[in-house]
Amino acid sequence: MLSIEHFYWLLAAFLLYAGWRNLRERRYAHAAFWSLIALLFAAGDTILTASKAGDALPSQVAGAGVIALALLATRMRREHIAEAPEAEREASAARLGHRLFVPALLIPLITVAVVLAGEHLALGATPLFGQGSLTLIGLALACAVSAVAAIAVTGQRPRQAADEGRRLLDTMGWAALLPLVLATLGGVFAASGVGEAVASIVSAVIPADSRLACVLAYGLGMVLFTVIMGNAFAAFPVMTAGIGLPLLIQQHGAEPAILGSIGMLTGYCGTLMTPMAANFNLVPAALLELDDPNAVIRAQIPTAIPLLLVNLALMYWLAFR
């Protein structure tokens, strides 16, 4: 039976490998950073179980680890890590042609297949997938299968996949953790009552009995919070708890699935326009060695604004059918 914990352990093993490689190259801050994250992933289930049992020590240790990660991030520097020569990479791309897209296309295909059929798959009387989000399990399985497919397509050694993954990880540095950290921040905001505060402010400012006004407040609020926090995953729980659930769903009868899906996509419009989404907008500019660090954002704004307007219209027309 596959569970998300199995993939956490696999991810922890990869992070430990990245830490070991950095240790060998005397990049001590990088080595400690990735190794500490690996330990947190590997021990996550133990920490959660102990916390539910009332033992606060594991959670406190994990919290100290997060603080240590923040301190280590200040010591990490982006450096060039050797890769295959450009001529060799161009020759490989010409040889492989469109087969290079096969591993990438497997990720969404396998993820969707697991989400749609996962709960019906079993080995005898044992379900194939264990407890947890089928979406996360499907995505993790898809990434693992895609890595194997990439090795088969390119004919490279399995270690090459780990080496290239480590090179990309070190190139991105601490920014690789931003989606995880910002999604957690959104949960913290929701648990601390930020959503209720937003609801009270919005109710005082806009006419809460106007469906259009609530849709605009929800959509534009998703964009604004995403711009501030850098990730729609962080904005979603706050805006949904503050506006989406009490005003649009409970008061105006919006369809939750449609509202949530379009609302999240609306938040992504903010991702396209903010430097806070460093892993999406600043890291690519650094990898491409662009003179303007905001060049990616400037190129995305003409797409983000029309997409925002379309999403607002779709939300208003579809969520209340």
Round to whole Å and give the CA distance between 178 and 299: 22
Please give the structure tokens belonging to residue 318.
């579809």
- In this structure, the answer to whether residues 217 and 233 fall within a common structural domain is yes
More reliable by pLDDT, 100 or 188? 100
How many domains does the structure of the chain reveal?
Answer: 3
> 203-230, pLDDT tens digit by residue?
778 888 889 999 999 999 999 988 988 7
- In this structure, the answer to whether residues 76 and 88 fall within a common structural domain is no
Round to whole Å and give the CA distance between 82 and 68: 28
The answer to whether residue 165 is domain-embedded is no
The answer to whether residue 166 is domain-embedded is no
Round to whole Å and give the CA distance between 260 and 240: 8
Q: Phi, psi (5° rounding) for residue 50?
A: -65, -40
Contact at 8 Å (CB) between 142 and 108?
A: yes
- In this structure, the answer to whether residues 54 and 99 fall within a common structural domain is no
Contact at 8 Å (CB) between 226 and 267?
A: yes
Long-range contacts of 276-279 (CB under 8 A, 24+ apart): 276/227, 276/228, 276/229, 276/230, 276/231, 277/178, 277/226, 277/230, 277/231, 278/175, 278/178, 278/230, 279/172, 279/175, 279/176, 279/178, 279/179
Q: Which amino acid is at 308?
A: L
Most distant pair of Cα atoms in the chain: their distance: 63
Confidence of residue 178 (pLDDT cuts 50, 70, 90): confident
The answer to whether residue 163 is domain-embedded is no
Confidence of residue 5 (pLDDT cuts 50, 70, 90): confident
Of 19, 46, 80, the residue at which a domain comes to its end is 80
- In this structure, the answer to whether residues 89 and 152 fall within a common structural domain is yes
Q: Phi, psi (5° rounding) for residue 2?
A: -90, 135
pTM for the full predicted model: 0.73
Confidence of residue 263 (pLDDT cuts 50, 70, 90): very high
- In this structure, the answer to whether residues 195 and 272 fall within a common structural domain is yes
Query: Bridge partners of 127?
Result: 122
- The count of C-alpha atoms lying within 13 angstroms of the C-alpha of 300, restricted to the half-sphere facing its C-beta, is 20
The answer to whether residue 204 is domain-embedded is yes
Mean pLDDT across 52-56? 61
- In this structure, the answer to whether residues 56 and 138 fall within a common structural domain is no
The answer to whether residue 164 is domain-embedded is no
The answer to whether residue 168 is domain-embedded is no
Mean pLDDT across 20-48? 86
Round to whole Å and give the CA distance between 21 and 74: 20
Helix, strand, or coil (residue 129) = strand
- In this structure, the answer to whether residues 235 and 273 fall within a common structural domain is yes
Domain of residue 4: give its range.
Answer: 1-80
- In this structure, the answer to whether residues 271 and 198 fall within a common structural domain is yes
From residue 114, how far is each of 82, 119, 243, 314 by CA, in Å? 37, 8, 32, 28
The answer to whether residue 161 is domain-embedded is no
- In this structure, the answer to whether residues 121 and 70 fall within a common structural domain is no
